[in-house]
Amino acid sequence: MSAILLIVVPLLAAFISILFKKASPYILLIVSFASVIVLGYIELEVITIGGFASPYGINLVFDQYSLIGLYIVNTLFFLVVAINCVKFKEMSTILLIALAGLNGLLLTGDLFNLFVFIEISGIAAYLITATNKNPLATFNYLVAGTVGSSLYLVGLIILYAMFGTLNMADMANEIAVSGVDASLVAFPFLLMFIGLGVEAKLLPFNSWVKGILASSNKLTGPIIASVYAATIGFVVGRLLTSVFVFSDTLGLVITIILLASIIAGEAMAFSSNKVREILLFSSIAQAGLVVLVFLQGFIGWGVFLVVANAAGKFILFTVTNHASDELGTDEVNDLKGLFVNNKIVGLAFTVASLSAIGLPVFLGFVVKMNILGDLFAEGNLFIPAVILITSVVEGIYFVRLLIKLWYKEHDLPVVQYDFIIKYVVVILAILIMVFGVYTAPIETEANDLDLISFVEGGNL
Amino acid sequence: MITNILFGVGVAFFGFVLQTSIAGVNRKVVGRVQKRYGPKWYQEFLDIFKLLSKRSVTHGWIFDFGVIMALGGIIGTAMFMPITSDLVAFADFDNFFIFVYLIAVGMLGMAMSASGSGNPLASIGVMRALTTMLAYEVPFMIVVLTIIKLTGTSSVTGIAEFQQLASNNWFMIALPLGGIVGVMSLMGMIGKKPFETYIAPAEIASGPMVEYGGKQLGMLFIMHEITVFIEVSLFVHLFLGGAENVVLFIVKYFLVYTTLNIISSVYGRFKIDQVVLFFYKWPILMAISQAFVAIYLGWVI
Amino acid sequence: MASIELIIVFTALAGVLSYFVGRLNKVAGSVVTILASMFVFVSVAYFGYNNELIHSTEFLPYVTFSVTYLGLFFAILVTFIFAMVSFFNPFFVEKYKYPALYSMLYLLSLAGVLGVFFTNNFMSLFFFFEFVVWTSLFLIPMGRSKRAASSYYAFSTVGSFALLFAIFIMREASGTFNIVSSMASVNGTEAAIVSALLAVAAFAKLGAFPLNVWLPRVLGNSPDAISAVFSGGLEKLGAFVAVLALVKLAPFGYVVDATGLAASQYVIAALGALTIVFGTLMAIRQDDAKKLLAYSSMSNGGYILVALTIASSASVSGGLYHVVAHALASTAAFLAIGAVSRITGTTKMSELGGMIHKMPVTYLVYLIAIISMAGIPPMGGFISKWLIFQAVIDKGMILVAVAVFFGSIGSFLYVFRPLAALFLGQELPQHREVSKEAPFFMLVPMVILSGLIIYTGVLPNFFLGFINNVLTEVGVTPLVIGSYTVTGTNGVLQPALIASVFGVGVLIAFIIFIVLKKSRKVGLMDTYTAGNFIYTEELMHYSLDFYAPLERLYEKYINITKDFYKRLENKVVDLGRLMKYYFFTNKPEIMVLWIIIIMGIILWGDIL
């Protein structure tokens, strides 16, 4: 089987689902489940599309890196779908397109093709977020997303003009071979970085996030904050570690922007009183951290940071958005005591947030410690200090939130979680705990990823 | 060991007799200062024995238990007190801190008993006594810190013997500022005016003592006399070079106690917060500068 | 023979078990905590004392253990505290919101604490440190305050992260996480930074000034048993780190000739002194007995810091002995207050009075505890304070001495308050009917603790002998101890003698008392009232604002740390709001503007 099926089948299914409106949710469910299963049967390879050899034709890179990304994204996507497919029937087609776009983003080895998939998945995202019933925010998202992808495109065009190639590996190769000064390519890279930054929720480019996630529902919350965020994390990771070459100054500027993004994200979350706002600002900070880690060149642990975030944010957003959908409010004070009668869900939520703040026996701890260790090993003391200080802030608002949600005596909010949500969040929470204790496989995997180099033809 | 303990009990008894007599004499002295005759010198003994012989009331077991603990603690403390450098029950173990802290057991017993009486005036008295203690104790301890640092021992006889060496002055002279602080703190310790806020007879009906009568009051009187004995002799040993023989000790003791009484007889009474402010202004500054000068600069007369 | 790994795994599994048992029956779940923590204490103490603990690991990945005297000292103490306090769990667990969870977290934090004391690897140390933080974190809000937990989290995480930072710096220097070798490998500036960072960790865990805000909140508002555990056990993690930071690493900075102390020692001692003073002044003000004890814990933490930073044989053994003495005394005091609160439902002194008449044993336990806390012989607190005084005097630390003496005298003031207002005084009618002595199984741990408090005060040599092993291990000259005597820098103490002389004094007083005429028993309301007739108990009970005249002198200045952190929090909130205002509008053009501005700055400045 070929990895291209992961893109083609959802696209095809999307068209079929238009024809069979009634069956569309089940098609969606089956296709998304199938893409998780199929991943186990595909061999790692580089797929050339249309018969043109790689620098000239478009290729898909199905290597270790994309495999992890695909597993995570497809699994989470399937879980989101499993929870929501009945309620959001009309979204089935669009979700299928989104799946195709996301898989494409993870697979593609071509910079222009990447742009195409950004657009596909972006358009799907705009439509999905329309279910928020907050058209203005969706419109803003659309504008922002378009501006971002245009900037990316502009940057790409400049690069193409300079090096005459669009293939990622080839581009990296060309830049290295031509020996061009890093400051010359800085401008296009900056443009592309900003373009991706819009999707990756980096600070000055992310004004859309608040509108979208603050009014998100059970579907949009997890899908934007978890699935999309994970995908874009993987994409940024691949570009930053393998393709882009940043001059020292630009690297420094971007590092500062990222640190500012982290600090501001945590501060904003700290000053929020609404559950979804807290989570969204926290995910802004996390996104900054992800990019920062990739920028420092730590592929392996960067990947697991993305994974840990995706799993955690999935639980957090699913739980809170279900509650706020039911109650019509997401003020923390209105949700007080939410978990008193929903202990199972509450435990999963607690595990996810404790993992997010990096407390031991949870996955987040392992990831955070290794990242900090790597940073220290590079002799970098400033970045770890910022990360640690911001995690204190992060911890405070999460703990505060947890305690409010767990402790209240009277007038408890009435929220029923159906069994699917319960199963899904509990399984994820258990996974977070299991890999927080049984760290050996993650560590091997992270080390393997660090060793690979993105040569032409992928990292097989 | 038994002889040591018996000797200690003897010291406590000696202290009681000495202080009670001197207190009686002082009532006469103060009387003369205030242009009246004053009672007989043995009046204090009469008072105590009269009280001990009377039948009184009790407010429950803690009321009695506290009195026993108070007197017991004070007797225990007095047993450690050296009279001269040779007349000491437990040589080498007359550590300064034992006096400061074991005496507190007695104080605590009394405070407990007074609070157990259920009279709010007693509690107010206890509050004032403790607050006063917080005021005078710290400057005093700083001066003693200087002394211990200079002599290298915290044994009271050791300190006294250090001053008896020909090359050394009494600490009253060697550390003039500290000596003054010592006098002021001593006045606070034995509750002389202007620091007698916690007794304040006309104001809070004698404070801690308000509920007592009969044997309990008698025992507390004994306790008070021994307490004063401990504190004044501590001063004698720390600041006035101790004593080579008993006579000298009694003379020094008498002089110190009488001087304090005469000073106090011309003062009014501070309010409780004034007591605290007073001690945390000049005495503590003097004590700290004395300590600094003596320890860091080595200037000792 | 017992393996540390198995003990820790056992504790954790027992925790899980107690959860499931607790789901079936609340009380049964908490009985599991008693059995498990008693078992842990006995095995750690017995096998540890006989050097029979096995430190090899077979199941846990990455974690390695070793048995040091320092770790053993703390482990025995803290497991003992956990074991004693666990007796209270069955009586309180019904009141808590999540009883099964309570039992589980209780044992899990015990497991974490053991890990901290026994691991020889810094990374595991940090792991267990944080594990203890979150397991104990959720115990706190089962009490009265929901805010206490987040401030506990904030401060202890600051501490943990300082520790982590230090750990990584040491790893860079030594290439290993091993505690002994990595601490040995740092020197010069690095050692100074590491020692400062570790000190921050110790301060945060001990609740020392200026990282003190959480301690009174947590101790004052946690469930009664948990306050005792925190004060006697978990807070002592700070002392453990302080030993690493202050004793094992050399002090740094300018050395003062007259005393031989380095600048860093003066700084730490000064902060310790401020801790003492603040704790004391705040404790004097409290109306809530638990808060009062909480502040007293803070001030005692200051003593431990002052003692450890001086790092002489008298001071370190004094500091470690103070750890023991304070753990025993404050646990006993908290348990006594807890016993009262179980019956009356309050720990506010203004709402209580005369509990002694119904709870005499609890009263005696509290009395013995506070005598020790105030450092009065013949209790354990006297020995440690005496050693600390010796060291402070010997080093001529005048200003620190002011604080040390102030705290010591001040402790008379505050420990007396619950005694007077809560146990003594008028018996208030609202509690008269319901009050009765605590049940037998609550009295057991309290009486055991009291016995130990007296034992440590009368015969300190056994514990001091053990502490001498610790001293040798951390490179400090051991203290000279005889069979009954303790030799400090400038004097010899014979605690047994003091106790027996005190006994003789009491005997004499008792004889005087008993031979004289018997007194007539009268009621508490039958008192001198200057001719007025008062029939209301409350009016005859002086307990509110006990030290009002004293408090008035400083109440304006006392809240500076609390205010500082409040302002800091507000600043962060302000920053967040500002950011939201600038970056998160509903207008995409603003975002575009930001993009242009950023690109403009970068291109215009020609910095690429």
Q: What is the pLDDT of residue C605?
A: 59
- Is 90 exceeded by the pLDDT of residue C450? yes
**Contact call for residues B107 and B70 (beta carbons, < 8 A):** yes
> Token pair of A67, please?
């495999």
Please give the Cα distance from A237 to A291 (Å, whole number).
Answer: 7
Give phi and psi for C481, each to the nearest 5: -130, 135
- What CA–CA distances, in Å, run from C319 to A447, C247, C332? 46, 11, 20
**Contact call for residues C286 and C295 (beta carbons, < 8 A):** yes
Best CA proximity match to C98, nearest among C140, C128, C66: C140
Interchain CB contact of B274 with C (< 8 Å)? no
pTM for the whole thing?
0.90
Element (H, E) at B95: none
Please give the Cα distance from C592 to C578 (Å, whole number).
Answer: 18
Give phi and psi for A47, each to the nearest 5: -105, 125
Indicate the residue type of B132. T
pLDDT above 90 coverage of chain C, percent:
9
Please give the Cα distance from A21 to B70 (Å, whole number).
Answer: 93
Best CA proximity match to A404, nearest among A321, A459, A330, A325: A330
What value does the mean pLDDT take over residues C91-101?
85
Q: How many Cβ pairs within 8 Å bridge chains B and C?
A: 263
**Contact call for residues C137 and A357 (beta carbons, < 8 A):** no
- Is 70 exceeded by the pLDDT of residue B205? no
Please give the Cα distance from C46 to B187 (Å, whole number).
Answer: 53
Element (H, E) at B58: strand B57-58
Q: What is the pLDDT of residue C453?
A: 92
By C-alpha distance, the chain A residue nearest C96 is A407
Q: What is the pLDDT of residue A219?
A: 85
- Is 80 exceeded by the pLDDT of residue C371? yes
**Contact call for residues C275 and C299 (beta carbons, < 8 A):** yes
Query: Which residues on chain C are in Cβ contact (under 8 Å) with B177?
Result: none
Query: Which residues on chain A are in Cβ contact (under 8 Å) with C593?
Result: none
Query: Which residues on chain C are in Cβ contact (under 8 Å) with B115?
Result: 419-420, 424-425
Query: Which residues on chain C are in Cβ contact (under 8 Å) with A379?
Result: 172
**What is the pLDDT confidence band of residue C448, given thresholds at 50, 70 and 90?**
very high
Please give the Cα distance from C539 to C533 (Å, whole number).
Answer: 11
- The verdict on residue A458 lying in a domain is no
Classify A331 as helix, strand or coil. Answer: strand
- The verdict on residue A457 lying in a domain is no
What value does the mean pLDDT take over residues C375-379?
85
- The verdict on residue A302 lying in a domain is yes
**Contact call for residues B111 and C394 (beta carbons, < 8 A):** no
- Shortest CB distance from B73 goes to which of C354, C363, C502? C502
- In this structure, are strands C486-487 and C492-493 parallel, antiparallel, or unpaired? antiparallel
Classify A306 as helix, strand or coil. Answer: helix
Classify A47 as helix, strand or coil. Answer: strand
Interchain CB contact of C228 with A (< 8 Å)? no
Asked if the Cβ–Cβ distance from C376 to B101 is below 8 Å, we say: yes
- Shortest CB distance from B52 goes to which of C412, C490, C516? C516
Q: What is the pLDDT of residue B189?
A: 86
Residue spans per domain, chain C: 121-503, 567-604
In this structure, the number of other CB atoms found within 10 A of the CB of residue A453 comes to: 11
Residue spans per domain, chain B: 2-295
Does A contact B via 3+ CB–CB distances below 8 Å? no
What are the respective helix, strand and coil percentages of chain C, to the nearest 5? 75, 5, 25
- Is 60 exceeded by the pLDDT of residue C608? no
Interchain CB contact of B262 with C (< 8 Å)? no
Please give the Cα distance from C75 to C80 (Å, whole number).
Answer: 8
Q: Whole domain around residue A395: which residue ranges?
A: 5-451
> Token pair of B233, please?
């002799």
HSE-up (13 A, CA, CB side) for residue C513: 24
Please give the Cα distance from A303 to A443 (Å, whole number).
Answer: 11
Please give the Cα distance from C584 to A137 (Å, whole number).
Answer: 11
Q: How far is C515 from chain A, CA to nearest CA, in Å?
A: 59
pLDDT in tens, C198-209: 889 999 888 888
- Shortest CB distance from C398 goes to which of B120, B277, B288? B288
Q: How far is C402 from chain B, CA to nearest CA, in Å?
A: 6
- Helix residue ranges per DSSP H, C345-397: 360-373, 380-395
pLDDT in tens, A183-230: 777 788 888 888 888 888 887 777 788 888 888 888 888 888 888 889
> Token pair of B57, please?
């009331």
Q: What is the pLDDT of residue A456?
A: 45
All chains having 3 or more CB pairs closer than 8 angstroms to chain B: C
- What CA–CA distances, in Å, run from A339 to A237, A275, A414, C98, C434? 36, 14, 10, 11, 35
What are the respective helix, strand and coil percentages of chain A, to the nearest 5? 75, 5, 20
DSSP state of C305: H
ipTM of the complex: 0.92
- What CA–CA distances, in Å, run from C55 to A34, A102, C1, C124? 49, 50, 11, 14
Q: Tell me the residue length of chain A.
A: 460
**What is the pLDDT confidence band of residue C80, given thresholds at 50, 70 and 90?**
very high
By C-alpha distance, the chain C residue nearest B120 is C542
- Helix residue ranges per DSSP H, C207-259: 214-221, 224-229, 236-242
**Contact call for residues C121 and C174 (beta carbons, < 8 A):** no
Q: Which residues pair with B79 in a beta bridge?
A: none
- Is 80 exceeded by the pLDDT of residue C433? no
pLDDT in tens, C207-256: 888 888 888 888 888 888 888 888 888 888 888 888 888 887 777 778 77
pLDDT above 70 coverage of chain C, percent:
99
- Is 90 exceeded by the pLDDT of residue B261? no
Please give the Cα distance from C404 to C182 (Å, whole number).
Answer: 34
**What is the pLDDT confidence band of residue C606, given thresholds at 50, 70 and 90?**
low
Classify B247 as helix, strand or coil. Answer: helix
Per-residue pLDDT of chain A (460 residues; tens, 9 = 90+): 677 888 888 888 888 888 888 888 888 888 888 888 888 888 777 777 766 766 677 788 888 888 888 888 998 888 888 888 777 878 888 888 888 899 888 888 888 888 999 888 888 888 888 888 888 888 888 888 888 888 899 988 988 888 888 888 788 878 878 877 777 777 888 888 888 888 888 877 777 888 888 888 888 888 888 888 899 888 888 888 877 767 777 788 888 888 988 998 889 888 888 888 888 888 888 888 988 888 888 888 888 888 888 888 889 988 888 888 888 888 888 888 888 888 888 889 999 999 988 888 888 888 888 888 888 888 888 888 898 888 888 888 888 888 888 888 777 888 888 888 888 888 888 988 888 888 788 888 888 777 765 554 444 3
Asked if the Cβ–Cβ distance from A376 to C595 is below 8 Å, we say: no
pLDDT in tens, C248-300: 777 777 877 777 788 888 888 899 999 999 889 888 888 888 888 889 888 89
